[in-house]
Structure 1
Amino acid sequence: MDRLRVASLLPGLTGRGVLLAAPVDADHVRRTLSTSGFAVAEVAGPAAGMREAQAAIARALRLPDTAGRNLDALVDSLRDLATWWPDDERVALLWPGAEQLVEGDLPGFLTLTEILRAATDDLWRGGGTGDRQFETVAFVRRHGVRALGEA
């Protein structure tokens, strides 16, 4: 399996591992990823606190309940993404309403995005058995995030 970066499919998204996108582009992002071979997991509802967002991320990724309550368990569960997504070599997490956490708990947002970014790096070792391509697209209104196609 060759590595396929979300940013190469959707030029204009900013970031690495966790990419930022404008909410207006959500349908386009979802459609592009789905038609490019990514299994798409979507966080349900915005969260103003880190623990709430963590639990929503764990549910979206079908991780064990402990991953939604304990940061170490989240890290460990993400390392085992192939266990939870055995039939999908490419997994994209879509996180609508991420600005709620940015505005309500910026340190929590930074903690979760660092965990997700590290998982992106850890899960790909060159395309061997068990490797997963994993990236997150956080939809953020305002905060300098531009819609695709904006100059």
Structure 2
Amino acid sequence: MSGLAAVLAGRHAPGVYRWHAHLDEADVRRAVEHAGWTYGHLDGWQVEDKAEFLSAVGKALSFPDSYGQNFDALSDCLADLGPAALLWDGWSCFDRADESAFQTAVDVLESHAMDERTAPFVVLLRGDGPDVEGLESLD
């Protein structure tokens, strides 16, 4: 968990990363919450399109009922979060089914993570999948 621990401690930049750790989801949750960050887990094994992703990420991060489930609303709701970490298992299903929508989702998440005016935000794309241009590993 050293890469994630470095992000949570402020020693590594927030962002969207590939992550190959085989830690139990509950252990990841405990580490994130112990650091005082909001935690979300997106089980993406059944997510294959934009609508399913937007719904799943809203549930994972406990967005309000007013969440509009579009990419602009996603960006708005992310801006309202404090420090947060999103563990996204099964991300490759969405990437393989709709590469364009997947890339837009990653762009929105990464834009928020890289915005120095907002609280720290990290997304962990855990598991195997196609190469995603520009994404580093956090292992």
TM-score (structure 2 length as normaliser):
0.71
Give the counterpart of 1:139 among 116, 126, 138.
126
- Where in structure 2 are the equivalents of 1:33-112 lying within 5 Å? 33-46=32-45, 47-67=47-67, 69-81=69-81, 89-112=82-105
Q: Deviations over 1:46-79 (max 9, x none)?
A: 2011210111001111113453522221111212
What is the rounded CA distance, in whole Å, between the counterparts of 2:91 and 2:32 in structure 1?
19
Distance 2:111 2:137 in 1: 25
Please, which runs of 5 or more residues in structure 2 have no aligned partner?
none
Q: Tell me the SS of whatever aligns to 2:130.
A: coil
Q: One-letter code of the match for 1:42?
A: H
User: Unaligned 5+ residue runs, structure 1?
Assistant: 82-88, 126-130
Equivalent pair of 2:113/2:120 in contact (CA under 8 Å): yes
Return closer, same or farther for 1:113/1:142 CA change in 2, 3 Å cut-off. closer
Query: Which of 106, 109, 130 is 1:116 aligned to?
Result: 109
SS in 2 for 1:117: helix
Of 17, 20, 37, the match for 2:18:
20
SS class of match (2:73): helix
* Distance verdict in 2 for CA 1:69–1:38, change over 3 Å: closer
Matched position secondary structure for 1:53: helix
Letter in 1 for 2:51: R
Alpha-carbon distance, 1:6 to partner: 4.0
Q: Is the 8 A contact 1:56 1:68 kept in 2?
A: no
1:24 counterpart SS class: coil
1:65–1:109 distance in 2 versus 1, CA, 3 Å: farther
Compared CA separation, residues 35 and 77, structure 1 to 2 (3 A): closer
Alpha-carbon RMSD? 3.1
Q: Does the 8 Å CA contact 1:94/1:139 hold for their aligned counterparts?
A: yes
Counterparts of 1:51 and 1:147, CA distance in 2: 28
In 2, the alpha carbon distance for the partners of 1:121 and 1:147 equals: 15
The 1:68/1:61 distance shift into structure 2, 3 A limit, reads farther
Bigger Rg, which one: 1
Give TM-score scaled by structure 1 length: 0.66
